[in-house]
Amino acid sequence: MVDVTTHCTPLRVLDLAGGSGLLATRFSAQRHTQRVVLVDHDSDALSFAPDWLEKVNRDMTDIRDLGRFNAVILRQVLHYALDPGALLAGLRASLCEGGIVYIGQLTPPTKRAAEWLESIAALIPGNARIRALSTADYVRIPTDAGLRPLLLRAFPYRESVAKWLARASTSDTGAILETARSTLTPPIRSDLCVRGSDLLLTQQWSHGIWSFDPL
């Protein structure tokens, strides 16, 4: 949030696919903030968000009638989008002059590692993730959509496949973990710096502030 407030005054904030509103709540607590809108297609997740937030239950691409914002927040969102480039390009119409887009995304370091993670995620029943974005994708997709970076940071992030599956609350944890072990090639193991039998993976937390150039 500090990086967002350094690059704009977030009077009006739009949190896309923000679930239960963890980030949205932080912005609403700021004295200069006038409006915070939380959009998510999951009504159950929205029910856990505080009632003082403006909650909108709809797809994250359906936002044109919500007005204009100084900051649009996308935290761990792009891997759910059918067309992440189109989603980002469409944000221009929702930004005030000088507005920024925050994009935070876990990114495996290479395309082959991303494709492997996609294949494992696809085994989880009810999984809504469409893709994994590599670190290069994190930069390429917003750039192709017309955004330019004002700030880019990357932090190492480690999490095991076993813990990831436990968070997904699936009963197939053992079988999926075994598939992950059996399909983990030496190059992918090297890419992700894998450690241990539960497959401790090293990715990056890619974190950036982006803006559109004026038309």
Distances (CA, A) of 28 to 22, 102, 135, 174, 201: 10, 16, 30, 41, 34
Residue 127 DSSP symbol: -
- pLDDT at position 112 is 97
End-to-end CA gap in the chain: 27
pTM for this model (two decimals): 0.93
How far, in Å, CA of 186 to CA of 46, rounded?
Answer: 41
Instruction: Please write the tens of the pLDDT for every residue from 22-49.
Output: 888 888 888 888 999 999 999 999 999 9
Residue 92 DSSP symbol: G
Please, are residues 146 and 87 in contact by the beta-carbon 8 Å criterion? no
Residue with tokens 């992918």: 188
Q: What is the arrangement of strands in the sheet containing 95-107, beginning at the earlier edge strand? A: 54-57, 35-40, 12-16, 69-75, 95-107, 200-212, 147-160
Instruction: Please write the tens of the pLDDT for every residue from 112-153.
Output: 999 999 999 999 887 778 889 999 999 999 999 999 999 999
